[in-house]
């Protein structure tokens, strides 16, 4: 049984960036989260003691091999993968989307249609649109005016010609969550596969590729309290079937056939430590942590994070609602918080988004302005992508007090 109080003070003490003395408020976590000290230590340890190429016969090189395998097991546990070999490491999620999309284009067969969503980050749209020159037909799953994807709108798009449905787990612009388990049920009933972009959702809740029954999933470590790196998960039989570029000496087996070239080993060590950080959080929350598995501890951590972040979403939305001339996009009602993560996209009437972000920066608050790499979604919400909107993207180390300071700045902006 988990403890009822979320240990926000002890959590914040673990993040060097939150304790530098400048009291900066990090509300641009959708662009990349801060890292705990344990992750920094893991990266430094690798660079000092293991900064060599893997595959050698000497101790340092063998330790790199062991470190990568340990990280692979950790990420597999985080995702609830069937086996570690289903996890491949690389530079970022975008490069993995490209790798999988090009491979699928070579084995399309009679199923030539791919369904994409205008909710998504452009990386999970343009990559698939680029396949139209290879005979792929694109079908669009459209966002409704409420800023969410409704699965009942997906069903009519599916047919015997559907090869794959590509969608996000959560919108990086609006924070809207997609019912991906139902997406997989419908897609598989039509004989299609499901490709999920979990980049924005990953720091906010439990990922379970077996329960979701998806076929591929990509994520970026730097959104999950790790350094810049990315990883791909896929069902073994599907990854094995993908034709991928590899040098002749690389065996045609996973994960090596997916991991083209040398990736950044120290950042993978950092990803392993980030999973360890989450596991330690779960251990602190469970009444009987000694008998719990690694997966149990990770689930406990992510469920507690999800619950705590719901209070952040509620507080932010409540405060913004009290401001004059503010428009919040996407899920806004307190009764619908289970359908979003604490990513708030908004505009202040008469104040350009870039100006709002700049004034926030002057007051020690980092937010994002622009199209959030989702220009199609912004157009759908009636926002010109050229000017865009403001996004405050919170994670579990943020606080209600920080939200209060943020809203005070916005209030001064609207008054002036």
Pairwise CA distance, residues 273 & 43, whole Å: 9
**pLDDT level of residue 309 (50, 70, 90 thresholds):** very high
Q: How far, CA to CA in Å, does 231 sit from each of 88, 125, 135, 202?
A: 6, 18, 28, 12
Question: Hey, is 286 helix, strand or coil?
Answer: strand
pLDDT at 2 (0 to 100):
40
pLDDT at 3 (0 to 100):
39
What is the dihedral sign for C-alpha 314, 295, 271, 72?
Answer: negative
Pairwise CA distance, residues 12 & 35, whole Å: 11
Question: Hey, is 231 helix, strand or coil?
Answer: strand
**pLDDT level of residue 246 (50, 70, 90 thresholds):** confident
Of all residues in the chain, what percent carry a pLDDT higher than 70? 99
Pairwise CA distance, residues 214 & 62, whole Å: 34
Q: What is the pLDDT of residues 200-245, one digit of tens each?
A: 999 999 999 999 999 999 999 999 999 999 999 999 999 999 999 8
Q: Per the structure block, which two tokens stand in for 14? A: 């673990």
C-alpha angle 69-244-249 in degrees, rounded to nearest 5: 65
**pLDDT level of residue 261 (50, 70, 90 thresholds):** confident
Q: Which residue ranges form the domains of the chain, and what is each CATH number? A: 8-35+294-415 (3.90.1150.10), 41-275 (3.40.640.10)
Q: Which residue has the tokens 């996009």?
A: 329
pLDDT above 60 for 401: yes
pLDDT at 290 (0 to 100):
83
Q: What is the pLDDT of residues 151-202, one digit of tens each?
A: 999 999 999 999 999 999 999 999 999 999 999 999 999 999 999 999 999 9
pLDDT at 245 (0 to 100):
87
Average pLDDT, the chain: 96
Pairwise CA distance, residues 311 & 237, whole Å: 41
Q: Using an 8 Å Cβ cutoff, are 75 and 269 in contact? A: no
Neighbouring C-alpha atoms within 13 Å toward the C-beta of 257: 17
**pTM for this model (two decimals):** 0.96
**pLDDT level of residue 307 (50, 70, 90 thresholds):** very high
């Amino acid at each position: 049984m988990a403890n009822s109080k979320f240990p926000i003070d002890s959590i914040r003490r673990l993040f060097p960036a939150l304790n530098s003395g400048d009291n900066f408020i990090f509300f641009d976590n959708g662009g990349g989260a801060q890292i705990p000290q344990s992750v920094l230590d893991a990266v430094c340890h690798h660079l000092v003691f293991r900064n060599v190429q893997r595959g050698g016969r000497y101790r340092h090189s063998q330790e790199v091999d062991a470190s990568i395998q340990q990280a692979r097991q950790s990420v597999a546990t985080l995702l609830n993968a069937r086996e570690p070999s289903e996890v491949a490491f690389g530079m970022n999620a975008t490069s993995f989307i490209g790798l999988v999309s090009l491979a699928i284009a070579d084995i399309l067969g009679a199923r030539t249609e791919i369904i994409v969503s205008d909710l998504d980050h452009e990386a999970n749209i343009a990559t698939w649109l680029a396949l139209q020159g290879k005979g792929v037909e694109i079908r669009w799953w459209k966002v409704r005016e409420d800023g969410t994807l409704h699965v009942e709108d997906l069903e009519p798009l599916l047919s015997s010609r559907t090869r794959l449905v590509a969608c996000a787990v959560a919108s990086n612009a609006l924070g809207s969550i997609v019912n991906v388990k139902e997406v997989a049920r419908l897609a598989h009933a039509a004989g299609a596969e499901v490709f999920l972009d979990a980049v924005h959702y990953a720091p906010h809740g439990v990922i379970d590729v077996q329960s979701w029954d998806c076929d591929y999933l990509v994520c970026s470590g730097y959104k999950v309290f790790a350094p810049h790196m990315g990883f791909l998960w896929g069902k073994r039989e599907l990854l094995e079937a993908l034709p991928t570029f590899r040098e002749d000496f690389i065996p045609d087996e996973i994960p090596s056939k997916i991991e083209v070239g040398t990736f950044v080993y120290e950042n993978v060590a950092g990803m392993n430590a980030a999973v360890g950080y989450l596991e330690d959080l779960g251990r602190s929350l469970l009444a009987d942590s000694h008998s719990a598995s690694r997966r149990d501890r990770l689930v406990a951590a992510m469920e507690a994070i999800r619950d705590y972040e719901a209070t952040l979403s509620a507080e932010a939305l409540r405060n913004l609602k009290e401001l004059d001339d503010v428009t919040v996009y996407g899920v806004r009602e307190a009764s619908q918080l289970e359908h979003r993560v604490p990513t708030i996209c908004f505009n202040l009437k008469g104040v350009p988004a870039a100006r709002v972000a700049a004034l926030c920066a002057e007051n020690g608050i980092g937010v994002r302005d622009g199209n959030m790499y989702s220009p199609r979604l912004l157009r759908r919400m009636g926002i010109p992508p050229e000017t865009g909107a403001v996004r405050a993207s919170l994670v579990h180390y943020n606080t209600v007090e920080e939200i209060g300071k943020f809203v005070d700045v916005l209030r001064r902006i609207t008054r002036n």
